[in-house]
Every structure is written in structure tokens, then in C-alpha cells.
Amino acid sequence: MKKILVTGGLGYIGSHTCVDLLEKNYEIIIVDNLCNSELDTLNSIYSITKKKPKFFNCDITNYEELFHLFKTNNIDCIIHFAALKSVSDSVQNPKKYFFNNVEGIKILLRCCKKFKVNKFIFSSSCTVYGFPKVLPVNESMPFGEASSPYGETKIRSEEILLKFCKENKSFKNISLRYFNPIGAHNSNLIGESHKGTPSNLVPIITKSCFNKNIKLKVFGNDYNTKDGTAIRDYIHIEDLSKAHIKAYEYIKDSINNYEFFNVGTGIGYSVIEVINTFEEISGKKLNYIFAKRRKGDIEKIYADIKKVNKKMKWKAKFDLKKMLESAWSWELKRNSNKKTLK
């Protein structure tokens, strides 16, 4: 049976997608170098699905190892998650990001060409729109100015994929432009875990309830929004992982060989709305302070989701309350031996 190669399959989004693929009885192979994940996630995937996928501890920038993997496995499609994703780290170490994320995709494509693997699903990001002038953002809008080297690697990767599709007509790619994924799997066995301190809003909120050294700062309350705080389109991880199943089903019969879709809920929430909803569902009072705007932050962004709804027949199910309940439940489970702060 042909297999789906999932790069970065032990990471946050990859692990949830692997669970869904296994539950749909697809055969998968996971490649991950564990630079931002743990081998134990493989056991969690097994606990949920009762299936043990093949795993290779391999770096996607290592052509020889990838070559061997492609040679010895019959691969139908690649779902490519493996990338470095910290915006602040990318500002400190831009070369590391370009090498890992851009060279990584080039090496994968070299293997695709060599072994005639002609389906590819790529983890892109709403960051490719830069600072949007019109909302909601739709796919016909051009790339914006990247707000970080990380963002630039996503634009560059999409450009490489487009060129590759133009030169190789039998090769098909779908780029999924994720908005802001949050929450965890309903089993609470997999979720977002960070090597180091998180910088994203929702993990900071949930972690600040256990760790007094994590202080929640709201970056900017002078934006041109309903309450002055920035607006994002948060999407639950289970909705997002399901979009990959839809993409895999869609790519088999798609006519265009290069497609890209927004993957969000289409609804924007402000930082204050997220905080208020979290306080409501958890019964916790968050001690936040207002701070200066964070450099490079966008005032507001949310997705136009008509294209993905219509063409891929995918729609998010979780609302903000349910997403935050899921994120809180995951945090509680991880700290089940600790007391929450007052």
C-alpha cells in the first residue's frame, strides 16, 4: 500500500494530523528530527489510535537519508510540516531558518522528482499576507511584506512550490495557510508542548495560571479595533488537522496542480475577548497588564474561508469557548500534580 510521508509528524499540528490519518486507516511514515518535539509523542499517537506508524529520526535537510527513505518506501503523498516556527528566534537566527525551512523543502522536492512522488501538502501560514489592507483576507490577495525571517521562509517556500508545479505538470501541491492554531486533542494525550517558554497568546494565558514567572502582557491597547487590542482568527487544532485529510482527499482528483487555501474560522477575536472568554470558562482571574505593541505585530487579520468551504468542503466546528476549554483542559492535565495560582 502506498504511504503518506508526514514530515514534522511528531510536532504540534503534525501529531494531530497523524492521529486523524491513522484513524482513517491511511498508512503513514513519520519523519522528524525531534528538534521541537519528543519521541514519546509516538507512544501517545499509539495510545489514541492503537496503531504504530513507521518513524524515522531524520533531518529533512539530509539528502542522503531522505533518498534512502524514498527508495525503500512507496510514497504517495507528502504532508510537509517540518519547519522551525519561532518568529523571535528567526529574527535572531535568520540563516538557520532559511536553511532549515527553505533548503528543507528544496531537498524534499529533489526526492519527489527522483522518485516520482507527485502529491504535496504544505504547511503555510497567514503570515504570507503581511499587513493586510483589506479584511477578511482572501486567497486572491498578493503576498505582503514579511514581518519576520520566519514569514519570509513561508513566502519563499510557496514560490518554490509554484515554480516546481509549473515545471512539473504531473506534480500537485496544496498550500494550506493556517491562521492561529490553539487547543489540544480531546484525549489530552497530545497537544502543544514547547521546548522553552511559549510566545503565543493562548499557551501564555494557560501557563500563567501555574507559573508565577509567566506574566501575561497584552501587547498594545491602542489599535484601531473594538477594544484597542489586536485581532486574530484562532482555529482549533482538531479542525485544522481535519483540513489535511480533506486536502489529501481533494488533491487526488484536483485539476489545478497548484492550489492554496486559507484555513481559519473566518472570525476575528481581540486579545481582550480571548482573555475574557478564558476567565469565563476557567473561573480564573488573569492578572494581565497592558504593554507596548509587540514589534512586527499585525493589527487585525482573519480569513475569508469561502474557497476552502466550497472547494475542499471543509469548515471549522469549534467556537472560541470550546477552543479555550480544550487548551485549558490540556494545561490542567499537564499540571495535574500542581495547584493553580490564585
Interface residue list for ligand WQD (CB under 6 A):
85, 87, 125, 127, 180, 199-201, 204, 217-219, 230, 232, 271, 294, 297
Question: 140-148 — which CB contacts under 8 Å span 24+ positions?
Answer: 147/87, 147/296, 147/297, 147/298, 148/87, 148/90, 148/91, 148/296
242 binds ligand NAD (CB under 6 A): no
Query: How near is the Cβ of 82 to ligand WQD at its closest, in Å?
Result: 14
The CA distance from 262 to 304, in Å, is: 7
CB of 85 to ligand WQD, least distance (A): 5
Catalytic residue among 26, 97, 129, 150: 150
Residue 282 sits in the site that holds ligand NAD (CB under 6 A): no
* Shortest spacing between CB 182 and ligand WQD, in angstroms: 8
d(CA 254, CA 174): 10
Whether 248 is a known active-site residue: answer no
The yes or no reply on residue 82 touching ligand NAD (CB under 6 A) is yes
Closest by CA position to 163, among listed 82, 97, 105: 105
Residue 130 interaction partner, one of ligand WQD, ligand NAD, none, beta carbon < 5-8 Å per kind = none
> Total residues at the site for ligand NAD (CB under 6 A)?
28
| Closest CB 23 distance from ligand WQD, rounded Å | 26
Residue with Cβ nearer ligand WQD (67 or 219): 219
DSSP, residue by residue, 218-276? EE-S-SSSSSSS-EE-EEEHHHHHHHHHHHHHHHHH-SSSEEEEEES-S--EEHHHHHH
Q: Of these, 53, 104, 151, 266, which contacts ligand NAD (CB under 6 A)? A: 104
Contacted by 17, from ligand NAD, ligand WQD, none: CB < 5 to 8 Å by type: none
- Considering only residues 7 through 66, tell me which ones interact with ligand NAD, judged by CB under 6 A: 8, 10-14, 31-37, 59-61
Residue type, position 219, single letter: F
Which residues have a Cβ under 8 Å from the Cβ of 38 and sit 6 or more positions away? 10, 193
Nearer residue to ligand WQD within complex by CB, 164 or 179: 179
Q: How many other C-beta atoms are found inside a 10 Å radius of the C-beta of residue 222?
A: 10
Residue 79 near which of ligand WQD, ligand NAD, none (CB within 5-8 Å, type-dependent): none
Q: What is the CA radius of gyration of the chain?
A: 20
- Span 142-201, contacts to ligand NAD by CB under 6 A: 178, 180-181
Q: Tell the burial category of 181 from Cβ atoms under 10 Å away from its Cβ (0-12, 13-18, 19+).
A: buried
- What does the H/E/C string look like for 89-100? HHHHCHHHHHHH
Least CB distance to ligand WQD at residue 191 (A): 15
Give the integer Cα–Cα distance in Å for 218 and 221: 7
Nearest distance, CB of residue 99 and ligand NAD, angstroms: 9
Q: Are 82 and 61 in contact (CB under 8 A)?
A: no
Would you please indicate which residues are annotated as catalytic (active-site) residues? 150
Q: Which residues bind ligand NAD (CB under 6 A)?
A: 8, 10-14, 31-37, 59-61, 81-85, 100, 104, 123, 125, 178, 180-181
